[in-house]
Amino acid sequence: MTVLELLEEIEDIVDTAPGLPLTGKIMVDAGELLEIVRAIRLSLPDDVQQAKWVKDEKERILGEAKGEYEKIIVEAKKQADYLVETDDITLRAQKMAEGIRQDAEDYAKVLKMRTYDYVDKMLYDMQARMDELNMKYFGEMYSNLEKSFEEIGGVLQSNRDEIKEMAYRTQNGQDEIAVRKEEE
């Protein structure tokens, strides 16, 4: 069953539940409602699990970028050490090592920025999807519940007004006059 069908089933249960006189309250089977709520939880899309996957994917990509960065730095140091061992090209080796290190840092920075952009896009898409799901499923449910509560409140207010009117008549002796007129 879809989430909307399950929510309609809850509405049907509320609409068909027996009422308690003068209270506006109804009696429902708590077990039945809890079973439907569990079914709703199971029916929700896998977007929540996808958000965890996006987080794990971000960590993995950042770890790979850091590993690549460190690998390039180690390789650059090895090349620099080798070049330093020969006296006549030491200056050239130092410049080359610095260039390689700078390239590695630039490359790592580019990888990090691409990773951040990718993760940000995934999180943005997830946030938009969650907002969409919220509006689709819960907005309608809350709207229907609010309408039901307003209707129940209206019935309760009407009952209270009727009771107040009856009390007013009784207090002013009008209730006896109405009974006498009916007897005549």
Gap between the Cα atoms of 47 and 133, Å rounded = 10
Q: Would you say residue 63 lies in a domain?
A: yes
- Let me know whether 50 and 113 are in one domain: yes
Could you tell me the two tokens for 137? 């499923």
Chosen domain end from 26, 44, 62: 44
Angle of helix 30-43 relative to helix 3-16, nearest 10 degrees, comes to 160
- pLDDT tens per residue, range 89-126: 677 777 888 999 999 989 988 888 888 888 888 888 88
Gap between the Cα atoms of 84 and 174, Å rounded = 115
Q: Would you say residue 52 lies in a domain?
A: yes
- Let me know whether 51 and 71 are in one domain: yes
- pLDDT tens per residue, range 52-83: 788 888 899 989 989 999 999 999 888 877 76
Q: Would you say residue 9 lies in a domain?
A: yes
- Let me know whether 66 and 24 are in one domain: no
- Let me know whether 94 and 134 are in one domain: yes
**Domain containing residue 134:** 46-147
Q: Would you say residue 17 lies in a domain?
A: yes
- Let me know whether 58 and 109 are in one domain: yes
Question: Helix, strand, coil proportions of the chain in percent (round to 5)?
Answer: 90, 0, 10
- pLDDT tens per residue, range 139-183: 777 778 788 888 988 889 999 999 989 888 888 877 655 555 555
Amino acid code (one letter) for 119: V
Give residue 102's pLDDT. 93
- Domain tally, the chain: 2
- Let me know whether 87 and 119 are in one domain: yes
Report if pTM > 0.75: no
